[in-house]
Amino acid sequence: MTQKDTCEIVSLPFGAMLLAGAVGGGVGLLGGCMAYPSAPMQSIVHGTLAGSGGYVLGSLVLMPWVARPLEQWMAIWPGALLSRLLATGIMAWLLYFRPPEGDDGFRTALVVSHVVSIFLDAALLARWSRSLGQNPVHESE
């Protein structure tokens, strides 16, 4: 238990997590197009879908809409990062079709979209956790 008598029970901001995946996908698409303008657009789009889609699917494993004690979220978080990485790898394997011109655009879009989504997610959750004590919109016991 913490210093309080009751544990704070909260759910994660799932809508903002989806937005982080979408923004990461947009940045990945832009990065893939700018880094390899001659790469086939289909390859870049598949890389973007694998990167941001893997992030979102891995986030679903967390079930962020379920209210849990704050301490539980911190214990679950490393598993969520692993599930996102696994989901991204599986999606990349399913969407990868080697274009005749090469796969540089696919790899660039994949890595950029996934990494940007993870960084945005970390910033979002840090901001969210700081606001818990100040904003009583979260469920609590």
HEC assignment per residue over 58-76: HHHCCCCCCCEEHHHHHHH
Q: What is the pLDDT of residues 5-53, one digit of tens each?
A: 556 788 888 888 899 999 999 999 999 999 989 888 888 998 899 999 9
Give yes or no for a contact between 91 and 53, defined as CB atoms under 8 angstroms apart. yes
Share of the chain above pLDDT 70, in %: 85
Owner of token pair 């970390």: 122
- Residue 61 pLDDT class (50, 70, 90 cuts): confident
Q: Which amino acid is residue 48, in one-letter code?
A: T
